[in-house]
Amino acid sequence: MGPLSGLRIIEMAGIGPGPMAAMMLSDMGALVLRIERQVDSGLGIRRPEKYDLLLRGRKALALDLKNDASIEVVLNLIEKSDGLIEGFRPGVMERLGLGPDICLKRNPRLVYGRMTGWGQNGPLSHAAGHDLNYIAVTGALNAIGRKGQFPAPPLNLLGDFAGGSAYLAFGMVCALLEAQRSGKGQTVDAAIVDGTAHLMTSVFGTYGAGLIDLERGSNITDSGAYFYDVYACADGQLISIAPIEGKFYKELLDRLGIDPAEMPSQFERSEWEAGRSKLAAAFKSRSRDEWCAILEGTDVCFAPVLTLEEAPRHAHMKARNVFVDIDGVTQPAPAPRFSHSIPDRPSPPRKAENTPLAEALDGWMSEREIRDLRAAGLTIQS
């Protein structure tokens, strides 16, 4: 029973950041019901249900959203809800008859969360796009990568999930708290470009102060500095170091057996490549496991670079139960942690086609309402 226990959220099925935000709310105890279209949109990467991890922790109801009676079912559910999440292009929900004006009229306390890449307004608001495009236009993508190389796409973590999902979930919780005080719902316009730009606040401040260059791979935290980078070991495996502070940097040199007098001045950029050569040679002398034995847990700011397969087996990850096994699938556990309102372990992903109707609507409709819905033939579920 997590901190959001008691809240009810309707999720209009989509891809990417919307489902992640819904999963975050569900992970924290909210009762989330996903409304799926009976006709598959064909969007997203196909995978077996048990591996579609962004769908975990909640049930689903399949409806024909081109059918007026089905829309009325959704509106009836919205009357019982605290919030709604949708991730369509601007105008789609309005055309379905489920726009914020209609929904808030049916439920004035509703928090209506909208997840898009470009936002609800602006010259690009109706254009297609993906994570890479959104982080590109904010300046974030251009800043990520090594000197002399093209920008390095950071998976779709920065845009979709950090700039998108996390900000939508945060916005929903903020508006839900406000609704408890005022009794009034509102619309949350969560745009990936907004969230990603906001994540760059510190970077813009540092640039404004003249402390970083626009050239990639030329600054302390973008691989420009030899003391904040990744190095290869004797076995070809990789390790990371980040001793920016002087005392941490000194400890690194001590543990590597390098005389500080042999190293260039730490913050003299013109000498960074010379420093990199020194550290590269040192790290090449031992295997990754040997360096872990020497450096891990010290103040040199060290960690091995682990694969997706290795990370769950790391001692620190295991001690904190950062990863859990659900239905035989290793996956990240809910985060963050709470001292007493501890969330239950999420249930496995379930699509509407594999969820009995009574199970999907448990806590949402009475037995009679479920029988009526089944008799009307509005859902494909048994």
What pLDDT digit, counting tens, does each position of 140-153 carry?
Answer: 999 999 999 999 99
64 is an active site residue: no
What pLDDT digit, counting tens, does each position of 302-340 carry?
Answer: 999 999 999 999 999 999 999 999 999 999 999 999 999
Statement: residue 281 has pLDDT above 80: yes
pLDDT at 96: 97
* Number of other residues whose CB lies within 10 A of the CB of residue 227: 23
> What is the residue-wise DSSP string for 165-196?
IHHHHHHHHHHHHHHHHHS--EEEEEEHHHHH
Catalytic residue among 27, 82, 131, 160: 160
130 is an active site residue: yes
> What is the residue-wise DSSP string for 294-310?
HHTTSTT-EEE---TTT
Q: Which residue has the tokens 């997840």?
A: 115
Catalytic residue among 130, 198, 235, 254: 130
| Domains of the chain and CATH, by start | 8-199+323-376 (3.40.50.10540), 222-316 (3.30.1540.10)
Statement: residue 39 has pLDDT above 80: no
What pLDDT digit, counting tens, does each position of 179-208 carry?
Answer: 999 999 999 999 999 999 999 999 999 999
Statement: residue 41 has pLDDT above 70: no
How far apart CA 273 and CA 281 sit, in angstroms, is 12
**pLDDT band, very low/low/confident/very high, at 380 (cuts 50, 70, 90):** confident
